[in-house]
Amino acid sequence: MAPTKTLTLSILSISVLLSSGSSAFADWAGTYAGGSIGGGLFDSEVFDEDENIAYGFSNNDGFGGLAGFHVGHNFQNGNFVYGGVLSLSRTGFDETFETNFCDPSVHSTALNSMASLRGRAGLANENALIYVTAGIAKISTDEVFECDGDEEFVNDGYNAFVGGIGAEYKVQDNISVGFEYLIYEADDETAYEFGDTDNSVSTFDLGGHAVTLSVNYFFN
């Protein structure tokens, strides 16, 4: 399902909760910080748009673990909760794809870290909070395409859109546990030279689906 369709369904679900939710809700306002663990399925592609060389396309996909921390601030108006969060995660995604475009050719991708700045908006119902989130991310990578042992082009990072849904539950007045599902969509273009081909354009694309569990401490 496309990211926009997923977020639309999430917003509709929260609207239903708004019309039927309880009038009792916890206090979610204030600054908080926490840690998270989880994992994600990621897909990295590189494509020679100009088709000037023998290898035109390569794909890496697989699973990578996630661990990180975040800090954010909530505002609250009744049971409507909104704010922003800054997060940083390390990843364990490291995949290599061997092709027969040249002998040998290798496309390797390692995701080092993912930082994001996102807005959040949702509804509180008793001790629970359900929300949607969206923003921008910077993904640091070590991505290399080699042909006959020579590095033909290298990509060291992506700017990405990130969006998803989440839920938290207050286990104490200043402690919550949470679940979050995020979708990452990124693309980048770089120029490289190969033989007599100058400034041919190759496109690196990255997508991912990540699920994390978190523990959060509120400073209010």
In CATH, what class is 3-15+30-218? mainly beta
pLDDT in tens, 100-131: 556 667 777 888 899 999 999 999 998 999 99
- Report the pLDDT value the prediction gives residue 35, as an integer from 0 to 100: 97
Locate 161 and state its tokens: 């859109």
Based on its alpha-carbon atoms, the radius of gyration of the chain, rounded to whole angstroms, reads 21
Locate 103 and state its tokens: 């002998």
Give the integer Cα–Cα distance in Å for 94 and 184. Answer: 17
For the chain, domain boundaries: 3-15+30-218
Of 7-11, 34-38, 42-46, which gets the smallest average pLDDT?
7-11
Of 98-102, 195-199, 211-215, which gets the smallest average pLDDT?
195-199
* Buried-state track 12-49, b at ≥16 Cβ within 10 A, e below 16: eebeebeeebeeebbebeeebebebebbbebbbbbebe
Give the integer Cα–Cα distance in Å for 75 and 36. Answer: 22
Q: Which residues are within 8 A (CB) of 178 and not within 5 positions of it... i.e. 6 or more apart?
A: 34, 36, 166, 167, 168, 169, 213, 214, 215, 216
Give the integer Cα–Cα distance in Å for 106 and 118. Answer: 35
pTM of the model: 0.78
pLDDT in tens, 153-175: 666 788 899 999 999 999 999 99
Give the integer Cα–Cα distance in Å for 151 and 137. Answer: 27
